Amino acid sequence: MPTFERTYIEQELKKIDGNLPEPISLYIIGGGAMSFYDLKTATKDIDVIVTSEKAATTLITALQKSGYKKIEQVKSVYRRMKTRAIIENKDGFRWDVFANTVCGGLSLSDGMVARAQPFKKLNNITISLVAPEDIFIFKAVTSRPRDREDMFILFSHGLDMTIIKEEIKRQAKLDESTAWLSFFFVGLDELVEEYHVIIPRYNEFLQMAENEMTEWLILVFLQKKSRTLHELATLLQCEEKDIIESLTVLQTQRLIQEKNGKFYRKRINHDFLVADK
């Protein structure tokens, strides 16, 4: 697959800008942003997030007027990412367009918007680059070719792991239907295994993922019937003391309640499903 340097991408942005009927804001993530941060010499595509469905439709229409065509048959990994559209020109340069969320739920949060770096303002396009810490998060929860390599490049450049920790916790609260902490840790662990790096706060990320998975399993075990602390500990194959904190968290979130020594699900109709990565 061909790759494209920064100059080519900037020319394409100007071309598309001329076909836009109204102003829109673009947030560039992935390899495209890394190219503009001078962390990569070239990229095969550009991943962009817009903040509404209307803006996504406007952008896709402008891309089509600029000679791009939608790719209808896409790999399953891109379907799971809930891409709004994948669209490509005759040179093979591709846009992956997302409307406010990536992977079906990872949001362009207020924190991400605040950290984004202003990059370029054309007549109708205002372009910002998502911060390296946030690109690292997006890369960690996806499993496309070279995502771990990009994570290594970002990590080697220097990242604030405190920002990453707080943002992934925020994402988990914004979308309780997906195990974001666990997905993030899987990507982080694959980075460690493949590149043998030492991640600051690694054990904290591990504990967050373990706590999240424990809470999810408790909710699953309480889906059809109430259970005692001893029964839950037996099902989880752990000591009773090891799940007290998770039970307290779930009670605080009003997802479960305790009565007469048994724990009950309170939100029986809520779907706690682990989405495909």
Q: Show the tokens assigned to 124.
A: 């109708």
**Model confidence, pTM:** 0.84
Q: Which CATH number fits domain 201-265: 3.40.190.10, 1.10.10.10, 3.40.50.2300, 1.10.3470.10?
A: 1.10.10.10
pLDDT over 90 at 195, yes or no = yes
Q: Which CATH number fits domain 4-189: 3.30.460.40, 3.40.50.300, 3.30.360.10, 3.90.920.10?
A: 3.30.460.40
pLDDT score recorded for residue 270: 43
pLDDT (average), residues 39-61? 93
**Residues of 118-133 as b/e, b for ≥16 C-beta within 10 angstroms?**
ebbebebbebbbbbbb
- Strand, helix or coil at 97? strand
Domain range summary for the chain, segments of one domain joined by +: 4-189, 201-265
pLDDT over 90 at 248, yes or no = yes
Tell me which residue of 153, 109, 100 sits closest to 134, measured CA to CA: 109
Tell me which residue of 11, 3, 67 sits closest to 35, measured CA to CA: 3
Q: Tens digit of pLDDT for each residue in 29-49?
A: 988 999 999 999 888 889 999
